Structure formats: structure tokens, C-alpha cells
């Protein structure tokens, strides 16, 4: 059912052909693993396209915009997952804070080589100077290891707050994605598809709610594929449910765009037909 719903999904009002979801989180939180997990479910077997690791430094050095196909030779689905360098509490390490507004606004191209010390500049030859709505980020997913939430440093929390303020200023949808939940099967038995309301995960969810001001309904929980060889139905349900909530959040924002902006987009679409 979930799989079929997502296969049939179309972005709100046909303003864009694909929803762009940006994954942001600390090094090792599971950003790249979430993309791999989403792709695995639609491919029907576990895949590892995006490189993942557990090093203290970010494995991801390029800004990547990943499409997902429905099956090996299937069509591209109407969403893309954007992966970036991990956030680091240290200054001059991890994703450069100055790059984030440019990423949100759609100015950073696929495969751009990120640098902690040198943010992208409008003078860069691949900088997208006039991004359209389709180039922009439509939903941000703050990815957090559920086991490390209580240990986030004040510097990391401050970075998240700064990013969240920018996301709100840009009018972008957002969710928090909590990964690496070890007892996902047990929790699903307690409260199917409402893990954020179960006693097991309630404290971590409330911590994220207080820390970033994200509504509890926008805090999602998954267990990514890491070392498994085969797909697990319970994991698939959580992964697809989280993805569906991200797309719904993006649709809500697209639906709320100013009338003059949507009319302008519609006019451009008509000219291209």
C-alpha cells in the first residue's frame, strides 16, 4: 500500500516535477544511509550507492542530488534526496554554514566539491545564479542518531538552531528524522506507525521538540539498512512512512505559495508546452 502510494505520488499542483529533500545532520547520523535505504526499498534489494562510514570526519565531500528509480530499469520517481557533508561542532570542519543558504535556494549544483573552509561563491563557474522553484529545496530533514540526542554539544545545538532559522526564513518544509533505533520491531508492536508516541522513544522525541521547536508530528523514526543483505518489511514500512511524511510536508508548503508566484510558474510551464 505505502509503496503503491509513493509510486503514484505527484507533487502538489504540478508546480515542480520532483520534490527535493535535503538531508542535514551531524557526521555519522545516517544521512547517506537513509538515501541508500529508500533506494533499496524501491529496487527490491539492499543497495549502497551513497558511501557511508563511521569516521569522525564526514565521508561525504560532494553535494549530491540523488534520483530514485522504481526498480532497476524503472522510471525515476518524483522526488530526489540531496546529501551533503555532515555537520561538525568544530569551527572550520564539516559542512560550511555559509553554504547552507545557497543549497536551500538551489544555487549549488550536483557533485559540487564541498569545503569546510571555503564556501561556494556566486563567482564559481557552476554556481546557479537564477534557480527556479524546481532547483530549490522543498523539504529539509534534520537527521539525528536517536542514541546521541542527549549528548549533542551546545555548539551543535546552536548550529541546528541557526540552520532552522534559515529554513524558516526561506519558507521551506522541515521534519526531524531520528535514525538507529535498535528496538524498532518492539516499538511498532506497541504502537504501529506511531513510534514517536511510544514510551520507548518519547523522551528523545520530546528533546528534539524542545531543542529545535519541531512539532512532535514532524519527528519521524527509522532504522536504516546498514549491514543487512536482505530487506525487512518492518524497516521498509518505517522508511516509506517517513518519506511520505516528507513529501506531504513539502506539498503543504507548495500549496501555500503566493498566488502571484504560482501563476508565474504556471505561465512558464504553458510556454514550454
Position 268 scores a pLDDT of 44
Position 64 scores a pLDDT of 94
Tell me which residues of the chain have a pLDDT lower than 50. Answer: 56, 192-193, 196-197, 200, 263, 265-273
Residues in the chain, how many? 273
* Measured distance CA(3)–CA(13) in Å, rounded: 22
Amino acid at each position: 500500500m505505502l509503496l503503491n502510494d509513493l509510486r503514484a505520488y505527484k507533487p502538489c499542483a504540478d508546480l515542480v516535477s520532483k520534490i527535493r529533500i535535503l538531508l542535514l545532520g551531524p557526521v555519522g547520523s545516517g544521512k547517506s544511509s537513509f538515501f541508500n535505504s529508500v533506494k533499496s526499498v524501491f529496487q527490491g534489494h539492499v543497495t549502497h550507492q551513497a558511501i557511508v562510514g563511521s569516521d569522525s570526519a564526514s565521508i561525504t565531500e560532494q553535494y549530491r542530488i540523488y534520483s530514485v528509480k522504481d526498480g532497476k530499469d524503472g522510471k525515476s520517481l518524483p522526488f530526489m534526496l540531496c546529501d551533503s557533508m555532515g555537520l561538525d561542532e568544530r569551527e572550520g570542519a564539516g559542512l560550511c554554514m555559509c553554504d547552507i543558504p545557497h543549497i536551500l535556494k538551489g544555487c549549488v549544483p550536483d557533485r559540487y566539491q564541498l569545503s569546510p573552509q571555503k564556501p561556494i561563491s556566486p563567482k564559481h563557474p557552476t554556481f546557479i545564479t537564477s534557480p527556479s522553484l524546481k532547483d530549490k529545496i522543498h523539504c529539509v530533514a534534520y537527521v539525528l542518531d536517536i542514541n546521541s540526542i542527549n549528548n549533542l554539544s551546545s555548539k551543535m545545538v546552536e548550529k541546528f538552531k541557526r540552520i532552522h532559522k534559515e529554513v524558516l526564513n526561506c519558507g521551506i518544509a522541515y521534519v526531524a528524522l531520528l535514525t538507529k533505533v535498535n528496538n524498532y520491531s518492539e516499538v511498532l508492536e506497541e504502537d504501529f506507525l506511531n513510534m514517536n508516541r511510544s514510551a520507548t522513544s518519547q523522551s528523545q522525541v520530546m528533546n528534539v521538540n524542545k531543542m529545535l521547536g519541531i512539532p512532535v508530528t514532524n519527528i519521524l523514526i527509522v532504522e536504516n539498512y546498514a549491514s543487512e543483505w536482505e530487506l525487512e518489511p518492518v524497516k521498509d514500512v518505517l522508511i516509506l512512512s517517513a518519506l511520505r511524511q516528507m513529501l506531504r510536508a513539502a506539498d503543504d508548503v507548495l500549496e501555500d505559495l503566493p498566488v502571484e508566484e504560482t501563476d508565474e510558474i504556471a505561465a512558464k510551464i504553458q510556454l514550454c508546452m
